[in-house]
Amino acid sequence: KIWSESYSVERSSEVVSINRHLAFKARESLRETAHVLQPDVSVYYPTVFVQLWRELHCTPPGLLRRSDGKSWFTKFKGEPSIDDGGLYRETTATTEVFPIQLAAPIWKLLVSEPLTPSDFAQFDVATGQTLRYLRLTAFDSDAMFASIFPDQSFTCINEQDQLVELIPNGANVRVTLANRFEYADALESYRLHQFDEAVACIRNGLASIVQVDLLPMFTWAELELLVCGRPTLNLALLRKKTEYSPDMDMQDTLVERFWRTLAGFTSDEQQLFLQFVWGRSRLPFSEVDFGSYTFKLVRHMSPSNPDEYLPVAHTCFFQV
């Protein structure tokens, strides 16, 4: 309730235009060049995110605060319709979920929870192993240490493949057996704080929609769950929010087979099913968060051989 009430200001809706064909091509191209960083977001490939940024980055944040569940309407270029919630559902900070993939340390920093060396396992295994080796290994002599770390200085390589000095003039300070603990501490401190600037930008973005002062009330796992939803499909919840066509009911043989088949899917297959029928990979967090949406299961009457008929989904209306 606290999370929901922090962004309840009513404003008029924006209309954004999205070219889904360009976004699809961008996704294919990015598989080849995802490791290349561009200095200006305007030269990035036209993914859905980049197209939304171009449309909305000049929009006052207040216009995105709406209690009716529509911060903006999406118009698909070259397609004669306006969506009934599609892209909006995936990208707005309301009770809808956005399954963004962030490492646990990022969520921790968002709720002002300090990182510890154990967090290296989530984003930098090599550094974690190096720190343990430096601190726990009983080196026999200076010569032995120098043979293992022959040219190591008080520097490291950052995420942009640039050399960073861990202390003033660190490039000219050799790591020795005597000062190895100082080097380990400096390296650990840098790695644990290397995301601070990026996380601060994320928090500033959140601050335009929600009250970030409330974030420390949640654990990092709770915040991830609120934003991303559950990674597994809650079949009991989905069944509660299901409507059937007039010629069907919950005891219908076809319905029972449908739920039995869906329960037999793997987690990945269930997410693919949800994408097929609703254009998203995760359900809302709770029954209340569904709002007016219900899953609609409809019997399709066709004179053709039913064994050769494929299911038809209407993602805007959560129907199959």
Give 205 or 52, the one with higher predicted confidence.
52
* Segment holding 75, helix H or strand E: strand 72-76
Ramachandran class of 219: left when φ > 0, alpha when ψ lies in -120 to 50, beta otherwise: beta
For the chain, give the number of residues.
320
Enumerate the domain spans of the chain: 1-95, 97-228, 231-317
State the Cα–Cα distance between residues 220 and 242, nearest whole angstrom: 31
CATH value of 231-317 in 3.30.980.10, 3.30.2410.10, 3.40.50.2300, 3.40.50.720: 3.30.2410.10
Cβ-in-10-Å burial (0-12, 13-18, 19+) of 4 comes to: middle
Total-model pTM:
0.60
Residue 187 predicted with pLDDT over 90: yes
Residue 91 is predicted with a pLDDT of 36
Q: To which H or E segment does residue 156 belong?
A: strand 155-157
Range of lowest pLDDT (198-202, 261-265, 284-288): 284-288
Q: What does the block give as tokens for 298?
A: 């409809």
pLDDT tens sequence across 200-234: 888 887 777 778 888 889 899 888 888 888 888 88
Question: Rounded CA gap, 40 and 57, in Å?
Answer: 14
- What is the token pair recorded at 43? 């030269």
Task: Report the pLDDT value the prediction gives residue 250, as an integer from 0 to 100.
Answer: 79
Is 90 exceeded by the pLDDT of residue 190?
yes
Q: From the centroid of its chain, how far is CA 117?
A: 24
Averaged pLDDT score across all residues of the chain: 80
Tokens encoding 1 = 């309730």
Active site residues: 316
